[in-house]
Amino acid sequence: MTKKERAAFVINTLKELYPQIPVPLDHKDPYTLLIAVLLSAQCTDVRVNQITPLLFAKADNPYDMVKLSIEEIKEIIRPCGLSPMKSKGIHGLSEILIAKHNGQVPQSFEELEALPAVGHKTASVVMSQAFNVPAFPVDTHIHRLMYRWDLSNGKNVVQTEKDAKAIFPKELWNDLHLQIIWYGREYSPARGWDLEKDIITRAIGRKKVLDEYYKKTSR
């Protein structure tokens, strides 16, 4: 298959598997999504969804969040990991939203990435999921699968995002990045990978990846 044909196969297969696409992180508005995405760094979405109700019960908007101390936020979010950095980021960005954005989450990549603890991936998730602006946030699943499917060279997430945006139609980015995440979790994980279950990689996977898999499983 050519790269274009592989991309089309991915699109069509994911449409069949995920006609309805759930959003991994529970939220009710752009602010709660922003906080949830920030908490998800090096933490599972399942754990984040367990912790955010506790945090949002006390503060689900920047005005209430700044009433909490950084230490109070840190204690609530501790199970998500990196709590010292994340708590400072949550408190700091809430102050900036009040001071510069009338308490609203800005709708631009530049302004989002200027907020404390908000990187390009977090900004991309918020832009796509909260504001429906085309973006292609790359997490570990997408990075892994773009390489397995021979659609990217796997050097780094910056290159993977560039390759994804070049090969997939812009109007599909917001759906595709979520579909690939769900597919990676269910069919093509990093650990416990079963190629028989992974229908996309089995059909179009990079030869080097397939050879390594069969070599490993034949021992």
- In the 3-class helix/strand/coil scheme, how is the chain assigned residue by residue? CCHHHHHHHHHHHHHHHCCCCCCCCCCCCHHHHHHHHHHCCCCCHHHHHHHHHHHHHHCCCHHHHCCCCHHHHHHHHHHHCCHHHHHHHHHHHHHHHHHHHCCCCCCCHHHHHCCCCCCHHHHHHHHHHCCCCCCCCCCHHHHHHHHHCCCCCCCCHHHHHHHHHHHCCHHHHHHHHHHHHHHHHHCCCCCCCCCCCCHHHHHHCCHHHHHHHHHHHCC
Q: What is the mean pLDDT of residues 142-160?
A: 95
The answer on pLDDT for 111 being more than 90 is yes
- Please tell me the distance from the alpha carbon of residue 102 to that of residue 204, in angstroms, as a whole number: 49
Q: What is the mean pLDDT of residues 77-97?
A: 98
Of the residues 74, 121, 150, 198, only one is catalytic, namely 121
pLDDT band at 216 (very low <50, low <70, confident <90, very high): confident
Q: What is the mean pLDDT of residues 50-59?
A: 98
The answer on pLDDT for 154 being more than 90 is no
Q: What is the mean pLDDT of residues 176-190?
A: 97
The answer on pLDDT for 123 being more than 80 is yes
- Please tell me the distance from the alpha carbon of residue 68 to that of residue 189, in angstroms, as a whole number: 38
% of the chain beyond a pLDDT of 90: 96
Q: What is the mean pLDDT of residues 35-57?
A: 97
Averaged pLDDT score across all residues of the chain: 96
163 in catalytic set: no
The answer on pLDDT for 187 being more than 80 is yes
88 in catalytic set: no
CATH superfamily of 30-129: Hypothetical protein; domain 2 (1.10.340.30)
pLDDT band at 47 (very low <50, low <70, confident <90, very high): very high
Of the residues 45, 60, 86, 139, only one is catalytic, namely 139
The answer on pLDDT for 207 being more than 80 is yes
- Please tell me the distance from the alpha carbon of residue 146 to that of residue 10, in angstroms, as a whole number: 10
The CATH code belonging to domain 3-20+137-217 is 1.10.1670.10
**Which pLDDT does position 218 carry in this prediction?**
80
Q: How far is CA 184 from CA 78, 109, 131, 161, 200, in A?
A: 27, 26, 25, 16, 10
- Tokens encoding 135: 């973006």
Domain residue limits, the chain: 3-20+137-217, 30-129
Q: What is the mean pLDDT of residues 40-52?
A: 96
